[in-house]
Structure 1
């Protein structure tokens, strides 16, 4: 059996219009050409699908049974063709992703590696930098996508959550808080504090948590990058409140992590793009790939995926 798309379209058009003439107009073919397509379909099926007369065309019983099957087959085939054509359009292209330092170092290298194996003709550029600048880079169209901490009421961006983690208390070796199973924000505020700069989204979450705990925490030191803060903590300059995944950046330093409580703060790390602009096929493919990649938990630090608390 060799049924074609044109035969299915001709059959459905006649069934919808109950007229060979109107169906031919709809398909932009001659009435004789349409009739030939229907006859070819009937020959393939070895049955009549229409009962014809000079005044009307109606489906036979066999035609009525075949119609829903024909609609589904045509829909499935057209969807497959559209997907194949879409794939062809992203064989080449470029996508630029801005990310804060930690996901740029712990997530994106493996996600990009997996992506370029699937789409070797697409060039991926990763711009790692200050997290507080990423949103404006996306809004200005300097990059296609941003990866970083999500904040509520962030207008103008189409956001989706990749994963959630906790804010943790980081302290140096032999610090008195190391003996604690968890650390409250009030307890943390009683020690010299090392914080991200005020514009950082993670700093914003920490400031909110201190306020909820009813304490005012004034940092003794500030730094722009989490890796710098971790080293400052290891050097004994103070304690810090950072997302759990930052420990992946400097795994060898003598820094201990404890869950911060009262309140417990979850940080959402996500991917976002401009809500008023259609992504290029390459950028759209990368976004979908990264979301799928994270869902499958490839390359994500185990302590982030499980929200497990490291007590080392």
Structure 2
């Protein structure tokens, strides 16, 4: 079923003005022509989009759903126009990267520096998602490449290990554990844990480890962002488990101490994933080449 932009814009204008008359005027259409466009669209879709009332119109549930899609379409068209116009300014491509928070702070920065210096005419966008969301974004084409921590949950991806990291405990300076050189997860379970939002790889890993011990994770606080976690730890609201590199940086900014987490699962891999296909797009292949030697691909 094909829809023209004029009619879709009319629907959006009617929803915004709550009036077919004002919507038609906003789109520079005669009222009769606008009414016919709306009627034809409702006939094709087989649903009523607006309820006529004494003081104007109100969108039905179907109308609200259509408006959401029209707004999404407008955003996509704007992104399309912006990206194509960039070629006139010398931009030679756009690389969309999705990565989890740990990868952004530990694994990606040196690779991004090298790639951006070697390919200054490629625009890069980076989105912070959970590891599962990263894999879904790449598999569904919403991102070109992803960097995340295992497990791999989508076999549509081709993957390579691109780095290693380690988890550490973060505690307030005056905490009972602060004098220790290393702690176990059992040590941390005796205290309230400040963690990332549900779905974050480290959070899910801790939940699994607690369950394996027959214990409950006392995750009273869940926030987005390592900085927020460090500030809550400094305030004495609990302890946390973070990637070692940002944890060490926070010791120079906040009143916290980073302690080695002595657990086998504290060692982690960072994985680069792309959609499995016969031939990668040129921009994606260049990024893969930056991270993975050709003989290892």
TM-score per shorter chain, which class? Answer: 0.5 to 0.7
How far apart are residue 185 of structure 1 and its match? Answer: 1.3
Query: C-alpha distance in 2, partners of 1:138/1:127?
Result: 12
What 5-or-longer segments of structure 2 have no aligned partner?
1-90
With over 3 angstroms needed to count, the CA separation of the structure-2 counterparts of 1:277 and 1:235, relative to structure 1, is: farther
* CA-to-aligned-CA distance 1:180-214 (integer Å, 9 cap, x gap): 22112111111111112221112122222223444
Kindly name which structure, 1 or 2, has the bigger radius of gyration based on alpha carbons.
Answer: 1
Deviation string 1:112-166 (CA, Å, 9 cap, x unpaired) is 3322332233222222345442222111101100112221454222121122222
Q: How many residues align?
A: 203
Partner of 1:165: 165
- When the two chains are superposed, the root-mean-square deviation of aligned CA atoms in Å is 2.7
Q: Which runs of 5+ in 1 are unaligned?
A: 1-90, 293-312
Contact 2:170-2:256 at 8 Å conserved across structures = yes
Q: Which residues in structure 2 correspond to 1:55-204 (within 5 Å)?
A: 92-105=92-105, 107-204=107-204
Q: Cα 1:218–1:155, aligned 2, differ >3 Å: closer, same or farther?
A: farther
Residues 153, 177 of structure 1: CA spacing in aligned structure 2 closer, same or farther, 3 A cutoff? Answer: same
After TM superposition, give the deviation of residue 109 of structure 1 in Å.
4.5
Q: Which residue of 2 aligns with 1:307?
A: none
Kept after mapping to 2: 8 A contact 1:185/1:260 = yes
1:149 touches 1:202 (CA, 8 Å); kept in 2? no
The C-alpha deviation readout for 1:218-269, integer Å capped at 9, x for no partner, is 3111113222212211221100122223326645122212222355532212
The residue number in structure 1 matching 2:216 is: 216
| Residue of structure 2 equivalent to 1:284 | 285
Hey, what's the Cα distance between the residues in 2 that align with 1:248 and 1:173?
A: 13
CA 1:290–1:146 in structure 2 vs 1: closer, same or farther (change >3 Å)? same
**SS of residue matched to 1:116:** helix
1:266 aligns with 2:267: yes
Using structure 2 for the length normalisation, give the TM-score.
0.60
